[in-house]
């Protein structure tokens, strides 16, 4: 019984040490996630769903977020997504929203989420589409 307890103690210590090292690594080198939010006038019908969608995306630990729209960059890397008082306006311009020359963060991000209600979205295969649908009356 004594060797088994020693083995369990060593294995538990090894696991705790590796978990602690991974925690320190992810704290110093967090994942980078870009959220590209469509703020065109057609999004007005689903705009009430946007705060909850952003809250769901930002639940990830060890992550820094950058929030961009088709009109401007709202904020650079920070631990939360801050929407502010933004409201949908103007025509849809998804091509400019997903242009890495306009938003260099798209090239350096570990993951990219595109939040829109558009039927056709010009995306790269590794991007994640969050397509909002109008709520039933």
Q: Which tens digits make up the pLDDT trace of 27-58?
A: 899 999 999 999 999 999 999 999 999 999 99
Domain ranges of the chain: 30-131
Q: Give the pLDDT confidence score for residue 19 in this predicted structure.
A: 94
Residue bearing the bigger pLDDT, 42 or 123: 42
What pLDDT is stored for residue 53 in this prediction? 96
CA dihedral 135, 123, 54, 74 (to 10 degrees): -120
Query: Residues 120-131: what's their mean pLDDT?
Result: 87
pTM for this predicted structure: 0.86
Q: What is the mean pLDDT of residues 14-28?
A: 93
Q: Is the pLDDT of residue 137 over 80?
A: no
Q: Give the DSSP per-residue string, 33-88.
A: EEEEE--SGGGGGGGGGHHHHHHHHTT-SSEEEEEEESS-EEEEEESS---TT---
Q: Which CATH code fits 30-131?
A: 3.40.50.410
What value does the mean pLDDT take over residues 62-86? 92
- For residues 44 and 88, is the Cβ–Cβ distance under 8 A? yes
């Amino acid at each position: 019984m004594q060797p088994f307890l020693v083995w369990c103690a060593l294995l538990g210590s090894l696991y705790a040490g590796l978990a602690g090292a991974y925690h320190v690594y992810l704290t110093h080198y967090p994942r980078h996630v870009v959220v590209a939010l469509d703020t065109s006038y057609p999004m007005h019908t689903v705009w009430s769903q946007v705060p909850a969608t952003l809250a769901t995306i930002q639940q990830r630990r060890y992550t820094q977020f950058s929030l961009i729209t088709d009109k401007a960059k709202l904020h650079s890397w920070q631990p939360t997504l801050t929407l502010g008082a933004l409201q949908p306006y103007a025509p849809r311009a998804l091509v400019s929203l997903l242009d890495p020359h306009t938003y260099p963060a798209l090239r350096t991000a570990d993951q990219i989420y595109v939040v829109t209600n558009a039927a056709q979205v010009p995306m790269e295969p590794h991007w994640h589409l969050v397509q909002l649908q109008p709520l039933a009356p």
